[in-house]
Amino acid sequence: MSLKTIGDIQSEFLVRNNLTTTDGFITDQMLKDWTNEAHIFCAGYKKWPFTEGRVSTTWASLATNEDGYLAGSYPEGWKSESIRLMTIGGSRIDKKNFQKFQQYLEDNPAATDRIFTDYNRVYYVNPRIDVSGTIAVWGQYTPVVDLSLPSEVTVFSNYDEEGNEAMVEKITSYLKRREHQPQEAETHDQRASAKLEEVYGKIKDEQAMYQDTSNEGIFKRIDVVNGGFRDDELNENQF
């Protein structure tokens, strides 16, 4: 059968294991809980393209914290440390290491560099940055499914439905643990992971076809006088 909706996945799990939710061994609530846990596991197994997101907010939403940085909270449901790209007013803001960000602004109190960092699900922007406007961030979120609707689809549905097969295997592993069959549970865990690796392998094959823009070189520029890579310098707008 097609594995597209939550109802499809749950029905397939019951059929394969010759179960019903009326036999007393497994309840409707238990099946919902297992389905939710399986979806969380499978959706978070890799940094999937279909769990990438973009959220925008206004410049006024940032608040100055006690250290003098402009601070904003991570979008609700986003994974920690997952903001990969930020723009303010359409200008790209470079992400820096938290400690280096602090050190640089301490050593250069008048710097207007377009830099930000994050720590403990809060992102911090240079308070003297030379741009303003709409703040947009790109990163990774944790999808949520409404288990009260059998017609609800998963993040894999319609495009990468092999991932829903992994959900069936993962739910089965929970059942086998309840039946005190650890080896069987481990087997189904491995099948779930193998199916997800298969899905991710196909995605990586497609990503390998990406091409760099024409102005990007293969090698970084080296500072032959002082040593090191010029791109490693924190201040990219100093000239």
- pTM, two decimal places: 0.79
Return the higher-pLDDT residue of 115 and 214: 115
For residues 175-182, average pLDDT: 96
Nearest of 200, 171, 158 to residue 48 by alpha carbon:
200
Return the higher-pLDDT residue of 237 and 71: 71
State the chain's mean pLDDT as an integer: 89
Flag whether pLDDT at 227 surpasses 90: no
For residues 172-187, average pLDDT: 97
pLDDT for the residue 209: 76
pLDDT for the residue 222: 52
pLDDT tens-place string over residues 10-22: 999 999 999 988 8
- CA angle, corner 75, sides to 5 and 124, nearest 5? 155
pLDDT for the residue 121: 93
Residues 152, 158, 162, 166, Cα dihedral to 10°: -10
Residue 194 corresponds to which tokens in the numbers above?
């193998």
Residue 144 corresponds to which tokens in the numbers above?
């949520």
Window from 4-8, 191-195, 206-210 with minimum mean pLDDT? 206-210
Return the higher-pLDDT residue of 214 and 178: 178
Flag whether pLDDT at 239 surpasses 50: no
For residues 140-163, average pLDDT: 91
